[in-house]
Structure 1
Amino acid sequence: MKKVILFADTGIDDAIALIYALNNPQIDLLGVVSGYGNIEREKAYRNVEYLLELAGWTDIPVISGATRPLNGEDPVFFPNIHGVEGLGPIQPPIPEERYANRTNFRKLFRLIKKNPGEITIVNVGRCTSLAMAWYLSPEVMGDVKETFVMGGAFLVPGNATEVAEANFFGDATAANFICQNVASLTIIPLNVTREALLTPNEVDFIAARANTRLEKIIDPILDFYYEVYQEQEPGIEGTPQHDLAALMAALDLPGLFTYKKRKVRVQHEESYANGLSIADFRPGTTNCSGEGCSRIAMELDRTEFVKQVMKVLAKKR
């Protein structure tokens, strides 16, 4: 069983990743760090609490993350993509104001100290909270076994700008720090998460098997997500499950991804290319090794992805 701490900015695809984690017996979810990104931090925190309550897993700690990027600028949110509350049409019956003015990284550090060398961090939002944790206590964070980050776009267009993916663009300084300094780092970029599609028919199949309060919100939030994507990219086959793909990568499922190892940096000096993820894929380059070397997912087997999703979210009960 994989011990996981999830860093999220709980919009729709984060919610699907969290639901998958709670339903997968291979994952021991130790905690969730919830920060700004798709929505404000307080709403993201509230959404995690709401999903855990639906699941009956209220003993899982929720840790309050960052409210804005490291450069101090006001973040840009995406209610047009994730809905005003972050969960599409769902209106959680909990006011987000309840979660204002909370900081509890100490809780995160306690979890890591209790499980030295055993924890996998999966970061599916902005990299700010993860970078802050490293700034505050590199000694404790050095006890993390491995880190997976959903972010970047290598050799493909971005989704926040022409060249930048949203998580890296949202805090390019933090993204660059993580890519340059975190050991045992795997990056799951837009190249592969764009292929992690769930079609309406596949979502309907999952919905037909749903029999818990938590599972029953999958259909409405992914229907909302699909309509958003149809407006942005008419004719797209389904909805990309960016964050779920990153979480599944942490399980080392055979045949799901192919990887290359490269040193990565992120343009973060407020240029036109802010948030651009950079690695050397020129002909003749080979896998790197040692300090600063990241494993980058290059291809995803969509058939295997859907198979593994169905195994967890549409299993017979």
Structure 2
Amino acid sequence: MKICIDCDPGVDDSLAILFALARPDVEVVGISTSVGNVTAKQGADNALRILKLAGMEHKIPVCVGAEQPLNGDEVDFPEFIHGKNGIGNVELPPSDQKPVDMDVCDFLYQIASENEGELVLVTLGRMTNIAKTIKRYPDFAGKIKKVVSMGGTVLATGNVSPVVEANIGGDPEAADIVVQTPWDMTMVGLDVTLKTILRKEDLEYAEKYCREECKEQIHFLREEMKWYMQGARQQNWMRECCPLHDPLAMIVAVDPSVVKTHRCVTRIECEGAYCKGMVVTDLREYPIDGEYVNHCMEVDSKKVLDTLFAAFY
């Protein structure tokens, strides 16, 4: 399976990326970054450091993408969740690899063209880069096999407002462009990520029993997750555990059987004091506005955790 990752690393992005790199049946062919948990530039630097940690330095191109949402709104960075540097304030050794000197739209289109019909696009942050690429290259969507996006909520409460999830709320205009695109898209939202919990002891066990070549990676994850779990305690009243947001999306991309989905026409609310960024699902018998999107509504949490750690054992 060939995967291109659009992300904003990000503590949970780090785990999602390392999981994908550890899977022998996955080939990560490119990584692009956008503003979100950190700046796009910082996110690219984090991605390069993560690639070095995984022994993949100079093997996967990384491109710096959008530094602001489509509407130009100012970005507030969630340091209490991801730390100042985005990876829980853990210092990974810098990489000698540099980001590619390309516009992110050209980068994504080139990767899609080189892997036409077999590329899985996994988005772990705001969808700004994807929306801009769709606008610039009308045939981009036709080159993608499927899209799996971490974002949104249908029935669960939001995490930046009562009804809005952070990735969608961070650039609702971009998300609306993406969900209106006629392609095979699955949204992995808070309806399932909040039910999939990673515990401190899971990482302790993994570090003890993982393959020798993965021990440094798991140790890094344990360290960065300390900060992330403190943030989860503030945000979700969790103690020494956290939801698996981005990693679940990556796992769904690799093994869709871990979730049950509901398919419906979808739009994103782009205005309003209370609902801007809300995922609007049209459940009418004859919906008239939008494209169909698969929304993950149920999850086998045990299978998710088994799948996650099996990549490192």
- Fold shared, TM-score > 0.5 on shorter chain: yes
Please point out which of 277, 281, 292 is paired with 1:279.
281
1:259 paired residue number: 261
Q: Secondary structure at the match of 1:134?
A: helix
Q: Deviations over 1:227-252 (max 9, x none)?
A: 22123333457211100111111123
- Partner SS, residue 51 of structure 1: helix
1:7 and 1:253 map into 2 onto residues whose CA distance is: 19
> Counterparts of 1:278 and 1:49 in 2: how far apart (Å)?
36
Matches within 5 A, 1:1-317: 2-58=1-57, 59-94=59-94, 103-210=103-210, 211=212, 212=214, 213-236=216-239, 238-254=241-257, 256-281=258-283, 292-313=291-312, 315=313
Deviations 1:29-80 (A, max 9, x none): 1111111101111110100010011112121010221111001122221111
Aligned residues: 307
**How far apart in 2 are the matches of 1:129 and 1:34?**
8
Q: Distance in 2 between matches of 1:300 and 1:144?
A: 25
User: Aligned with 1:149: secondary structure?
Assistant: strand
Which digits, 9 at most, give the CA deviation of each residue in 1:141-175, with x for residues without a partner? 32111111111111121001111000000001011
Which AA in structure 2 matches 1:218? L
In 1, the alpha carbon distance for the partners of 2:286 and 2:64 equals 37
Amino acid in structure 2 at the alignment position of 1:30: V
1:54 partner amino acid: L
Deviation for aligned residue 1:196: 1.7
Q: Which runs of 5+ in 1 are unaligned?
A: none
Q: Contact conserved, 2:161 with 2:274, CA < 8 A, in 1?
A: no
Q: What's the secondary structure of 1:264's corresponding residue?
A: strand
1:164-211 Cα shifts (integer Å, max 9, x gaps):
000000001011111112411111111101112111111111122353
2:270 aligned partner, one-letter code: H
Secondary structure of 1:120's counterpart equals strand
User: C-alpha separation between the residues in 1 aligned to 2:67 and 2:25?
Assistant: 31
TM-score by length of 1: 0.90
Choose 53-62 or 264-273, whichever is displaced more. Answer: 264-273
Q: CA deviation at 1:133?
A: 1.1
1:97-119 alpha-carbon deviations (Å, 9 max, x no partner):
x8699634323222211111110
RMSD: 2.3
Check whether the contact 1:88–1:224 (CA below 8 A) recurs between aligned residues. yes
Q: 1:253 to 1:293 in 2, by over 3 A?
A: closer
Q: Contact 2:63 / 2:101 at 8 angstroms: preserved in 1?
A: no
Secondary structure, counterpart of 1:154 in structure 2: coil
- Give the Cα separation in 2 of the matches to 1:308 and 1:100: 32
Residues 203-212 or 175-184, more deviating: 203-212
Alpha-carbon distance in 2 for matches of 1:88, 1:72: 27
1:224 aligned counterpart, secondary structure: helix
Paired with 1:295 and 1:124, the residues of 2 have a C-alpha distance of 16
Structure 1 residues 288 and 273: alpha-carbon distance in aligned structure 2, compared to 1, 3 A threshold: closer
Paired residue type of 1:13: D
Whole-Å Cα distance in 1 between the matches of residues 68 and 101 of structure 2?
Answer: 13
